């Protein structure tokens, strides 16, 4: 079996604590393989009033993994770009896309003819995640290229949910 170099790597970011090591891993791979790096942030467009009033509440929004509002997405994308540059990567595209994260990542990978999608994932956080699936689950099921799932290096993202939890 021969290993291939990646030519185009797509990485998703949401500005969360896990996003930085995910982007750093993608950037490191891009530098190693002299690949194009495409950074994507999926967001849900909000009216200016709604965006100004938006306060994140635990379990209050079904748009898991999606940044709420263009302004928050721009901040997340800026942080990702800084991380990629710090790793020495050249970013060929930085995209803010209004849409559901897994669909956005898959579509971007297809449009850019990506060889690899890099994204972060934490262990099951809730019963809803188990029933509806997560961004990582959807991308690994539907992507037509390699997928690298980066897990947290500590236990902050691992929350135990008993099987009989409501």
For 35-61, what is the mean pLDDT?
67
Query: What pLDDT, on the 0 to 100 scale, is given for residue 45?
Result: 83
User: Given a cut of 90, is residue 153 above it in pLDDT?
Assistant: no
- Name the residue among 48, 93, 44 with its Cα closest to residue 65: 44
- 164 or 75: whose pLDDT is higher? 75
Q: How far is CA 26 from CA 38, 43, 85, 125, in A?
A: 9, 20, 11, 24
Query: What pLDDT, on the 0 to 100 scale, is given for residue 46?
Result: 64
Burial class (CB in 10 A: 0-12, 13-18, 19+), 14: buried
For 34-48, what is the mean pLDDT?
87
């Amino acid at each position: 079996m021969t290993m291939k170099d990646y030519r185009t790597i797509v990485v998703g970011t949401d500005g969360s604590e896990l996003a930085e090591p995910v982007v750093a891993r993608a950037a490191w791979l891009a530098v190693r393989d002299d690949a194009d790096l495409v950074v994507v942030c999926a967001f849900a467009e909000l009216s200016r009033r709604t965006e100004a009033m938006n306060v994140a509440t635990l379990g209050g929004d079904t748009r898991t993994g999606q940044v709420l509002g263009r302004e928050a997405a721009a901040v997340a994308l800026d942080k990702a770009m800084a991380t990629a540059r710090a790793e020495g990567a050249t970013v060929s595209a930085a995209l803010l896309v209004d849409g559901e994260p897994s669909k956005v990542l898959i579509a971007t990978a297809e449009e850019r003819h990506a060889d690899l999608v890099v994204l972060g994932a934490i262990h099951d956080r809730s019963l809803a995640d188990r029933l509806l699936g997560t961004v990582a689950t959807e991308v690994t099921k539907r992507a037509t290229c390699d997928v690298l799932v980066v897990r947290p290096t500590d236990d902050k993202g691992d929350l135990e949910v008993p099987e009989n939890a409501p």
